Amino acid sequence: MVSRSPRSDSAPRRPTAAQFRRWGVDPLWSRVVEVPSSDGSTYTWHVLERSPEAPIATIVCVHGNPTWSFYWRSLLERLGDRYRVIAVDQLGMGFSQRTAQRPFAQRVTDLGDVLSVLDLSGPVVTVAHDWGGPISLGWALDEAARTDTCSLAGVVLCNTGVAVPAGRKAPALIRLAAAGPLTDFVGRRTRIFVDGTLMLSGKRVARAARDGYRAPYRRAADRYAVSEFVGDVPFTPAHPSAAAIDQVAQDLRSLTVPTLLAWGARDPVFNDDFALDLAARVPHADKHRFPGMGHLVVEETDVAALIDGWLSERVLHAAPVVRAEPIVHAETPPIWAAIEAKRTDTSAAFVDGGTGTTTSFAAFHDRVMGVAGALAARGVKPGDRVAVLVQPGVDLLSTAYGCWRAGAVTVIADRGLGLRGLGAAVRAADVSLVIGAPKALAAARTMRWARGAELLSVSALSKLAALGSRLPPAPKAGDPAAILYTSGATGPAKGVRYRHGQMAAQRDVLATLYGITESDRLVAAFAPFALYGPAFGITSTIPNVDVAAPGTLTADALAAAVTSVDATIVFASPAALLNVNNTANGRHTVFSKLRLVLSAGAPVPIATLRATAALCPNAELHTPYGMTECLPVADIDLTAIDAAGAGNGVCVGQPVPGVSVLIAPLGLDADRALEPLPAGTTGEVVVRAPWVSDGYNQLWRTEHEARPRTSDGRVWHRSGDVGHIDTHGRLWIEGRSVHVIHADGNPITPVPIEVAVEALDGIAKVAAVGVGPTGCQQLVVVVQDAQRPIGLADEVLIERVRAAVPHAVAAVITVHTLPVDIRHNTKIDRTAVALWASEILAGHRARCNW
Amino acid sequence: MQLVKVLVTGASSLLARRTVEALLARGDEVVCLQRHEAPVDTDQVLGDVRDEALVADAARGCDAIIHAAAKVGVVGSWEQFRSINVDGTASVVAAAASTHVSRLVHVSTPSVAHSGHSIVGAAADAPFIGRSGAWYAESKALGENLARAAASDDLAVVTIRPHLVWGPGDTQLVGRIVDRARSGRLALVGNGAALIDTTYIDCASSALVAALDAAVPGAACNGRAYVIANGEPRPIRELVMGICRAAGIEVTPRSVPLPLAMAAGGVIERLWNVRRATTEPPLTRFLAEQLGTAHWFDPRPARDDLGWVPTVTIDEGLRRLRDWFRESS
């Protein structure tokens, strides 16, 4: 493996057409250019280039170390029919000529040299990765400085850096590789650096692609530049390249063109800290963070699609930032208004379900304002993000309202995400302060959820709150307030941004919809809903139940909670209500005092509603429909459910006043104007309301795709649910859009099939999924049955299912359990079911790994 | 539909016979060419499809040829497979060129593009060459390439690859399953859940007729290949048990793991070759793999380009099969 080879200036032999094809590269893209260098020599550069006759713009791609232009093949493939896409092999790298060592400043000049020979015209967007980042920026900033002929139209940066982020050391792996004699060994004499880079991305790099990445670096003589690149990383100010790179880092603050940071979050080298450092230097940058992806992010996931959408939106249209509009009128009272109004009220604001301790409104007010003052005194600035890892209770309520009053943005990830999900959520949120119980803080510290953030225990905070620091100015309706998390039932949990005005609007619509007045008292059996109590200015409590297992709530525990506050309203998840019904013994007369029972978060089985109605004879039973990004969208009560009867899907009722609902075509393209479908047609549910969230955290593309516009310019939110509106204006939900079965002919929605099969005797839970490619998928019905063997159903069951379903059913399978989400314990992960069914029905062995 | 005169080669096979009947039924003129007299009620030329002069003679006065003659199975030398499936096709193509024939429907097989993995909703991929051993598929791949290369403005060539054809009178699939079930030797490969699409015999013949009608110079289908199947993939166990039930047999088939079946198939094939047997072996690697992994296809290309949709559903086919067994017993 170790070899000594003399330095030569010849490039490795260019791959054959067959090799290029095997790697997914059109051999016609590959060419060499002779470039006179500013150092007096002429060098042979290898470039991959693809262009239509009349390109919209030129995309210049600069690779890092130790990759080559091959890294950008997905961009040539996807964008090359509209853009001129040029990916250069830097000198000494890829299949470009080998040269003497080229320090950073020389490489910037080199890039300029080759680009001038390639004769760029029209707007130019640079795209770069790894150490290609500072080099491309060096060129781009020079270009941007040319006021007369500037062609720079955009900058894209993937897992790169221009400076070691404040408060941390340079990447340990690179420091190690750059440590004196090791550099040559790791980079040139052996393939450790080349192979190691591929290893960082593991199986996400396909075998053929690995071959492509290694191709130009097979001989030690071809790897001089690999080790010299590593050696050129300035770890000390005295390093010859330090000043030049530092200049780029400084000048970056003057960059005004649209900028995109496309980031693989699992990169041990250029991790989130580098992304934050760049974001701080380019505050207008759009960010898209890929949680599961690593250093070679462009190789690992579809960054080309992200860049494609971003170019159309930002560079070609130069469109204004997409916002959920309208922002609520500024005169809406803030979310803490009721707390302020009751500052002298000695009645109970919150009763602790475990200890029975009561906190009065007056005390709660002082606590909230104390927290706000303390946070400001500790240097928390408006807009700073604060992770609140506190168990539901008065501590959580006062901390959250204190943060909001101080203008901080709360990051509240509930235990329903699971520990890993919780960590991922906090990590993605860029928090500057973590408030939590000692246990939570220890977890945050050991699992490095929030590097560089301060940690503050709840008890320390309450001591600080008692000091009575001066209150900071209150935030406005348009200011950011919170990041909430989706349940992650259909992919990684997404952070959802809310502004103060949006939260206040949500409070107002719920109060109006359910007639909530000061005479109401709330039991929040779905713990996050306890946060609404102080906003409504009503007494609230949380029953004594494990927050991570709401389905264990007993009738006794709920009755105790209802008694403790003399409750009029109960909010509980469907799973909790089910268990309450199952544990009720007919002696809970206190439930007759309830006037309203709300259940949401997942479809509520009709049997649960009926049993609850029997238990709470004087209560109206409502189930609001909505999602983390917009709640409520619609509402229905038991009477209306009965009136709606059976239909295609689950009826969720009329849209609530103030919300607009449209049905959009499936597979909607967010780059085009949204054309609603006529009533009765099945499509994706899109909504618009003052309480729709602002957008997603660090997910530019997700946000862009979730927010289409109608031709009148209004912005809508895609719910991700599929359904239709009936002739009475009621909304019916037929499943998630990602779960639609794209069969030959019309798409098939899963929920109506599941409803039909679940109506059969002895069948409780069913998932309808598609296997095979989009457009000719086959419908497969998976029935949960703990008594039958896993696999193909018996003939009797197959017959019954086929008779109940109005579509061709390719196969009926039974499983012992179907996978459900942690938070609600009811939403079936049909994607996981479909993957498993695909394997089984392909003839492979597969285990249900849920 | 304008009536035409059609030469059908290999009319002793079930599929070709049914196609001849379908053509005759709608009033087309048909002439058949095969080695031995076939039970079809039309003119027959007896002889070898490799005899170019004979084929050209038979094709004289025809507008179209359906080339269904082939050597199938696993028994035989490479030379035998190559000679019939490649040279035979060359002879048909040459005959078409030397006469007034303007349409050629070439009957191929999905196995020409099959590399041994499961097929899930695939289109008709390009044939590949270079297998070791699978002589039927290899020779059919060469033959298909040859036929498709002959597509021109004067001769429209459409290739049809019917997938697992079955029905009353079928000895290949139905015959084997029923034999094995009767003798208690019926085994399923793997978990029996592999989704397999099949073609009821009447659908396969109607597809050949549709291809004949669509094959005009300039049509989108000229020079292309289409996999034909019912478009109703079912788990192999359901299908096998459905066929058994149609034959009046109630069985619960045993299950053999796929790797074991593949290995056994390989051993059996070698034994058969060593013995120079003239009967088909009970299990081959191809069969094991066909029965143990998913095989189903995208129905859209055939529908879009040939205007063909299946005419008899799997369930209806099974009913007809049951009636046929009842009548013939």
Same domain as A293, residue A215? yes
Beta carbons within 8 Å of A683's beta carbon, 6+ residues apart: A663, A664, A665, A666, A677, A722, A723, A724
Res A528: pLDDT: 80
Q: What is the domain-level CATH number for residue A788?
A: 3.30.300.30
A10 near A98, Cβ under 8 Å? yes
- Check residue A320 and give its pLDDT: 53
Chain A partners within 8 Å of B292 (Cβ): 843
B120·A773 Cβ contact <8 A: yes
User: Per the domain annotation, does A417 fall within a domain?
Assistant: no
- Is A372 among the domain residues? no
Mapping DSSP onto H, E and C, the string for B149-165 reads HCCCCCCEEEEEEECCE
The structural domain count of chain A equals: 3
Question: Using CA atoms, how far apart are residues A153 and A122, in angstroms rounded to an integer?
Answer: 9
| Domain end point (choices A300, A316, A332) | A316
| Phi, psi values for residue A795, rounded to 5° | -65, -35
Q: Which of A735, A770, A788 is the last residue of a domain?
A: A735
CA A192, distance to chain mean position in Å, is 34
Give alpha helix (H) positions in B184-257: 201-214, 236-246
Whether A728 and A744 map to the same domain: the answer is no
- Which residue in A742, A841, A847 has the most chain B C-beta atoms within 10 A of its own C-beta, making it the best mutation to test that interface? A841
Q: Same structural domain for residues A799 and A755?
A: yes
> Is B232 an 8 Å CB contact of chain A?
yes
Closest residue, chain A, to B238 (C-alpha): A795
In a domain, A87, yes or no: yes
State the residue range of the domain holding A65. Answer: 17-316
Distance from CA of A782 to the nearest CA of B (A): 13
* Residue B235 identity: P
Question: Measured between CB atoms, which of A776, A810, A840 is closest to B299?
Answer: A776
Q: What is the pLDDT along chain B (329 residues), one digit of tens a residue?
A: 566 899 999 999 999 999 999 999 999 999 999 999 989 899 999 999 999 999 999 999 999 999 999 999 878 889 999 999 999 999 999 999 999 899 999 999 999 988 777 889 988 888 988 877 788 999 999 999 999 999 999 999 999 999 999 999 998 889 988 988 898 888 888 778 999 999 999 999 999 999 999 998 889 999 999 999 999 999 999 999 999 999 999 888 788 877 777 777 777 777 776 666 667 777 777 777 777 889 999 999 999 999 999 999 999 999 999 999 999 87
- The pLDDT value recorded for residue B153 is 92
Does A299 share its domain with A185? yes
Nearest to B294 among A744, A773, A841 (CB): A841
Tell me if A127 is assigned to some domain. Answer: yes
Q: Does residue A190 sit in the same domain as residue A81?
A: yes
Segments of chain A with pLDDT less than 50: 1-3, 321-324, 326-327
- pLDDT, one tens digit per residue, over A786-844 is 888 888 999 999 999 999 999 999 999 999 999 876 656 667 889 899 999 999 999 88
Q: Is A568 domain-assigned?
A: no
Which one of the listed residues B136, B297, B308, B325 is annotated catalytic? B136
Active site residue B226: no
Per-residue tokens: A358: 């009561």
Residue B92 per-residue DSSP state? H
With beta carbons under 8 A apart, name residues in chain A contacting B232. Answer: 808, 810
What pLDDT does residue A2 have? 43
Contacts of A351 (CB under 8 A, 6+ apart): A357, A358, A359, A539, A540, A541, A564, A565
CA distances (Å), origin A43, targets A36, A70, A99, A522, A751: 6, 20, 8, 76, 63
Q: d(Cα B199, Cα B163) in Å, to the nearest integer? A: 6
Sheet harboring B225-228: ordered strands across? B43-46, B29-34, B5-9, B64-67, B103-107, B156-162, B225-228
Say yes or no: B194 contacts chain A, CB-CB below 8 A.
yes
Q: How far is A793 from chain B (nearest CA, A)?
A: 10
Domain boundary among A288, A316, A344: A316
pLDDT of residue A3: 45
Q: What domains can you pick out in chain B, each with its CATH number?
A: 5-165+198-231+296-312 (3.40.50.720)
Residue A340 domain flag: no
| Chain A residues within an 8 Å CB radius of B121 | 772-773, 776-778
Whole-model pTM? 0.83
Q: Output the domain CATH number for residue A729.
A: 2.30.38.10
Burial class (CB in 10 A: 0-12, 13-18, 19+), B223: middle
Of A772, A811, A840, the CB nearest to B121: A772
**Same domain? A655 vs A722:** yes
Residues of chain A numbered 20-59 and touching chain B (CB < 8 Å): none
Q: What is the DSSP letter of A777?
A: B
Q: What is the least distance, in Å, from the CA of B309 to any CA of chain A?
A: 12
Mark whether A677 and A784 lie in a shared domain: no
Same domain? For A172 and A190 the reply is yes
Structure tokens given for B294: 């998913």
**Does residue A201 lie in a domain region?**
yes
- Chain B residues in contact with A792 by the CB 8 A cut-off are 191-193, 235, 237-238
Q: Are residues A40 and A55 in the same domain?
A: yes
Say if A798 is an interface residue toward chain B (CB within 8 Å): yes
Judged by CB atoms closer than 8 Å, whether chains meet at B298 and A773 is answered as yes
Verify whether the Cβ–Cβ distance A792 to B300 is below 8 Å. Answer: no
Q: Is A604 part of any domain? A: no
Task: Give residues 762 to 781 of A whose Cβ lies within 8 Å of B.
Answer: 771-773, 775-778
Whether residue A770 sits in one domain with residue A656: no
Residues A274 and A135 both lie in one domain: yes
Spatial separation of the C-alpha atoms in residues A708 and A724, rounded to whole Å = 18
ipTM > 0.85? yes
Whole-number pLDDT of residue A491: 66
Query: Are residues A744 and A694 located together in one domain of the fold?
Result: no
Does the beta-carbon distance from B298 to A844 stay under 8 Å? Answer: no
Interface test with A, best of B117, B118, B120, B289 (most A CBs within 10 A): B120
CB–CB of A45/A97 below 8 Å?
A: yes
Q: What is the pLDDT of residue A41?
A: 93
